[in-house]
Amino acid sequence: MRSEQWPWSAVVEETMRWNGAVNQFPMRYPLEDIEIDGTAIKKGEAILSSFGSAGRDPAQHGYDADEFDIRRRQAGHLGFGHGPHFCVGVHLARLQLETALAGFFSRFPNASLATPEQQEWKPTPVPSFVSNSLEYLPVLLGPAAAPDLPSR
């Protein structure tokens, strides 16, 4: 959907909810015995926070939580963490993502994902259970539009 009806910020937020860059975060240890939703966790036990899983929680995001839909009303995702360690760079990250997407698609308005037959390299996940990204994402750029140069 490239109708320009929805801002790039909606794409960024939905991406961070649906398949954000930080999938899980290790090295969390409770300072006292706690219970979360019926599960007892003892003081000092290692916890893996799954920000990615929280983004697909139907109780938070509705029955269609598994669907990528930039039109949804965002209900609060954990793509940039939560609480005292909430991402310090969140504003810069959002600005970079929106700027990069807008710049890329204004230069290559017809860019599309390569089909499996067109792919020299396959989309390959970076082998990590913490970060969530691809080593390769083959795309067809299509004709380039005139660059959007700043006026003097």
CA dihedral sign of residues 7, 106, 91, 113: positive
Question: 24 or 119, CB closer to ligand HEM?
Answer: 24
Say if residues 55 and 20 touch (Cβ distance below 8 Å). yes
- Whole-angstrom CA distances from 25 to 58, 69, 103, 139 are 21, 25, 31, 30
Part in contact with ligand HEM (CB under 6 A); list of ranges 56-64, 88-96, 107-115, 116-124 = 88-96
87 is a site residue for ligand HEM (CB under 6 A) = yes
Q: Does 54 bind ligand HEM (CB under 6 A)?
A: no
With binding defined as CB under 6 A, does residue 22 bind ligand HEM?
yes
Catalog residues that contact ligand HEM under the rule CB under 6 A.
Answer: 20-22, 25, 51, 79-81, 85, 87-89, 92-93
